[in-house]
Homo-oligomer: A and B are copies of this chain.
């Protein structure tokens, strides 16, 4: 292991657990240097999350935009695997928080994870343009060509169900006046759109930005780290998981499976009757 171990740091007096986030003493709870009692009632949920993650208090306009992203991702119905798993968990007799954790455990690279990949791409694109003093459009073209050559999927475009997602329009509608007003730079929103347009052009078919794409752009605009994206989405979709698990718990049905036991829904496709001692043992 090339990385320095926790033990080494500890031996050098750095503490086993060290944190810039919070300091807890008797009758004192301080977050990033602020007294908790000053934060309560003065900062919103999205400001608190940003403060905990990034160490600064986001201004109100940006905080509202961030909050809009959290609201937009809150639910996508009981067929999303995260929601379905949370609902099933709620019928199994476990602690309610564990039903919520069950759903959140599923929000991985494929289920909501495109935002992280999108943010990385947007940050990289902009840095590459700055560092090499290249035209932004040229960087985007080069990177997209490279992705297509490697058969990688562009994150943040396309959807199993929607081809004109009302959430995406609404988020752009909220972000655009902030760009005009110079509250945010707009550069990441622009890069995201350029990727989508260019892919549509290269593929010669309609391709629309999805909720992960616009969420990535906005979260870059306000300076969130890409690697935290799956945690942030956990707190957004976590609202829907909590509500759906709660609704299912209240129906009183016990040990609910994913679907009825119909032959066209659940099919056994394996080996038919056999007995131990046969040839197939290895």
Chain A 249-282, CB-CB to B under 8 Å as 1, else 0, gives: 1101111111111011111111111111000111
Cβ–Cβ contact A95 & B93, under 8 A: yes
Closest CB of chain B to A116's CB: distance in Å? 8
Closest CB of chain B to A98's CB: distance in Å? 4
From B40, B78, B173, B231, A242 is in contact (CB under 8 Å) with B231
List the one stretch of A79-87, A122-130, A142-150, A190-198 in contact with chain B. A79-87
Closest CB of chain B to A177's CB: distance in Å? 11
Contact of A95 with B95 at beta-carbon distance under 8 Å, contacts A40-B68, A231-B246, A259-B259 already known: yes
Cβ–Cβ contact B100 & A275, under 8 A: no
Chain A interface residue bracket vs B: 35 or more
A243 at the B interface (CB under 8 A): yes
From B34, B43, B78, B260, A19 is in contact (CB under 8 Å) with B78
A35 at the B interface (CB under 8 A): yes
Cβ–Cβ contact B96 & A110, under 8 A: no
Q: Kindly state the separation between the CA atoms of A254 and B225 in the bound complex, as whole angstroms.
A: 20
6 intermolecular pairs with C-beta atoms under 8 Å apart: A15-B266, A27-B164, A81-B257, A98-B98, A228-B242, A235-B238
Cβ–Cβ contact B37 & A166, under 8 A: yes
Question: Within 8 Å CB of A268, what residues of B?
Answer: 18-20, 22-23
From B27, B94, B282, A223 is in contact (CB under 8 Å) with B282
Q: Kindly state the separation between the CA atoms of A45 and B110 in the bound complex, as whole angstroms.
A: 25
Residue of B nearest to A33 (CB): B271
Using a CB-CB cutoff of 8 Å, which residues 74-111 of chain A contact chain B? 74-82, 84-85, 87-89, 91-102, 104-111
Cβ–Cβ contact A266 & B78, under 8 A: yes
Residue of B nearest to A267 (CB): B15
Cβ–Cβ contact B96 & A227, under 8 A: yes
Q: Kindly state the separation between the CA atoms of A19 and B84 in the bound complex, as whole angstroms.
A: 11
Q: Kindly state the separation between the CA atoms of A153 and B16 in the bound complex, as whole angstroms.
A: 26
Using a CB-CB cutoff of 8 Å, which residues 235-249 of chain A contact chain B? 235, 238-240, 242-247, 249
Residue of B nearest to A45 (CB): B45
Cβ–Cβ contact A19 & B98, under 8 A: no
